[in-house]
């Protein structure tokens, strides 16, 4: 696995694979393959893929650690940008198909409906993460501040899950919600467990003995 991930063809292959859902939606739109209500299908599908890629991004570090595959870290930035790509498509589908690209109507509609407000908040929080995903931003912010900023992805995951829950609540359909909740909950619980274990090891680690200098030496 490490050999493939480190191969020069690895990133192009993953890049194309991440584009396949988008290509499939475009093909469906041009071939009338999106069902009786294509607008709603596109809106739901782009939201689903945003949540799926968010789960994939959150899974990179646990998989990297548990499988001993450090090369996975090379793909986290690309996958994170694909989260933003699909959430932009999701917001565009809402703004276009639901609101007719009427900016004033969009501004008035967002605070009226809680599930849209929560989804828009997640979109806003993802924007600075995408904007600071390159090396110059890390240098400009400093590694510590950059890491703290990118922990907003955990907040975004919670908001995205709540957005999905409220959207499905209208139809009393919670099956997929529970699946995503279980996945995101497990990934966040792993991080919490690892942080607590690391802190515990630090506390129990014996202090290095102080050097003693004998008089006259």
Q: Does 173 or 73 have the greater pLDDT score?
A: 73
Q: What is the pLDDT of residues 65-114, one digit of tens each?
A: 999 888 999 999 999 999 999 999 999 999 999 999 999 999 999 999 99
Other residues' Cβ atoms within 10 Å of the Cβ of residue 156: 22
How much is the pLDDT for 217? Answer: 43
Q: Is the pLDDT of residue 157 over 70?
A: yes
Q: What is the pTM of this model?
A: 0.89
Cα–Cα distances in angstroms (integers) from residue 24 to residues 35, 52, 75, 86, 143, in the given order: 14, 16, 22, 13, 38
Q: What is the pLDDT of residues 181-205, one digit of tens each?
A: 999 999 999 999 988 887 877 777 6
Q: With cut-offs at 50, 70 and 90, classify the pLDDT of residue 4.
A: confident
Q: What is the pLDDT of residues 9-63, one digit of tens each?
A: 889 999 999 999 999 999 999 999 998 899 999 999 999 999 999 999 999 999 9
């Amino acid at each position: 696995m490490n050999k493939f991930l480190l191969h020069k063809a690895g990133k192009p292959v993953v890049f194309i694979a991440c584009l396949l859902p988008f290509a499939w939606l475009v093909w469906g739109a041009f071939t009338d393959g999106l069902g009786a209500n294509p607008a709603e299908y596109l809106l739901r599908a782009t939201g689903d893929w945003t949540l799926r890629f968010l789960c994939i991004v959150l899974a990179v570090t646990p998989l990297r650690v548990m499988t001993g595959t450090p090369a996975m870290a090379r793909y986290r930035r690309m996958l994170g940008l694909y989260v933003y790509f699909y959430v932009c498509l999701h917001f565009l589908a809402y703004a276009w198909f639901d609101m007719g690209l009427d900016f004033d109507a969009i501004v008035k509609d967002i605070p009226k409906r809680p599930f849209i407000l929560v989804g828009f908040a997640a979109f806003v929080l993802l924007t600075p993460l995408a904007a600071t995903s390159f090396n110059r931003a890390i240098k400009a912010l400093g590694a510590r501040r950059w890491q703290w900023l990118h922990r907003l992805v955990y907040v975004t995951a919670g908001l995205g899950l709540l957005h999905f829950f409220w959207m499905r609540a209208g139809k009393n359909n919670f099956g997929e919600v529970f699946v995503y909740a279980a996945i995101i909950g497990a990934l966040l619980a792993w991080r919490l467990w690892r942080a607590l274990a690391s802190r515990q090891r630090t506390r129990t680690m014996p202090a290095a003995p102080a050097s003693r200098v004998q008089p006259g030496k």
